Structure 1
């Protein structure tokens, strides 16, 4: 039930997942579900507690990026950065590693380190030809970081690249390109 509600009614999904947790709190997948539901409902403290428990129970590092983002959500960007340096991050799949880069860059932006955020996202994956969602997310985050660093021309180009990858309209990248205006080289 919680899974079906997650996108449209995250608070209700969280209630269902927490009820399942009360009944089967020693099962790792139940704790994972409770953590994800709490995260989606922006109950970051609960999310962090549940995802930490799930990690202890399952040994999986899969939710490290979500845990780091929960730290950001609680106003603790330094803790998010600390999690981004967890040795288990290297074992994540490409999507997970990219998500952690995005979260870490966001933490840097939270601390006013806009150039460092942009630099952290300058990775080979930016130029990937893959049509995976992480490519879009990485390009969009990089454009945001560039914009935060005052590098509007570059930001516009990367928003355009994100828009090109955004065939399903998941982001406002195309709108951001328009908002930033025409590049003199266009």
Structure 2
């Protein structure tokens, strides 16, 4: 394939040290060239994901058996909307690295291809013990969206409410979980409840005016759970100490399913129309881009023991 241009100021040594070490299996010249294209992938993900994907595909054509290269191509393909190719690259990266990575991306790619049952199967087969809280929250948001697109927003609501109760992580991700919950409530006709959720998390109501969008309220989600309300959770884990009282009050008494990820009701009329909520997809993409920045980030101030990729060959 034609090689996308790389500016002269892009240097291979700017690639993160761990990624450079993976490239040592290549010849020196090839390793340096691939590294420069991986840097371009990271630089372009936010502004031009399609061009980032072209750089990633070129890197794959020269280093297809290096895990970090396939992982970069999978993420770039996902953000550019090339879901079939992204699935192939993510799964290849998983085999090459031995790590159970990017399950939420895999499930969301299946969703993007309209393969809702396969998306739910991906989520069902994930070992939750191998996921951190943030990854589990991302997967729950994808699964909730899949159920919505299948025409079962009630099940999607159960999934996201359970994820809110169990989440132990940062305030921003908790806010995103509540935002997805508000979407499910809207879809079920529970408009007032959805509006109340959005007001507490400082999110403009749907179809609100521009003036409304300028008003930002802070929702404190750092309070402790009450013990008796925590017993409503069906999972073995206890709710996080930093979950808010509002979380529990709103979710207390809601119906649940033993394994909401495994729920796969048949799509109405042969399948739902693809249309996952834009806000969830946008914030998910932002997280993926942040991961790529960490994976391929420039470490100009890092003292690196291997200043050249193949210094042992010099």
- Does residue 53 (structure 1) correspond to residue 92 (structure 2)? The answer is yes
1:174 corresponds, among 204, 221, 224, to 204
Checking the alignment, whether the CA contact within 8 Å between 2:185 and 2:191 is kept in structure 1 is: yes
1:65 to 94, 104, 112: 104
Question: Residue 108 of structure 1: CA displacement?
Answer: 0.2
Post-superposition offset of 1:136: 2.0
> Partner of 1:113 in structure 2?
152
Comparing 97-106 and 115-124, the one that deviates more: 115-124
Q: Tell me the distance in 2 between the aligned counterparts of 1:94 and 1:47.
A: 24
Shift of 1:146: 1.1
Secondary structure in 1 aligned to 2:151?
A: coil
Conserved 8 A contact 1:35-1:46: yes
> 1:1-186 alignment to 2 at 5 Å?
1-123=40-162, 125=164, 131-163=170-202, 173-176=203-206, 178=208
Q: Which sections of structure 1, spanning at least 5 residues, go unmatched?
A: 164-172, 182-186
Offset from partner CA, 1:64-110 (integer Å, 9 cap, x none): 00010000111111111111112334311111000100100100001
Give me the TM-score of the superposition, normalised by structure 2: 0.51
Q: Distance in 1 between matches of 2:204 and 2:171?
A: 18
The whole-number CA distance in structure 1 between the counterparts of 2:67 and 2:176 is 28
2: CA distance, partners of 1:150 / 1:110:
16
RMSD: 2.1
Structure 2 portions without partners, runs of 5+:
1-39, 213-314
Paired positions, count: 171
The CA distance in 2 between the partners of 1:124 and 1:10, in whole Å, is: 30
Segment drifting more, 115-124 vs 16-25: 115-124
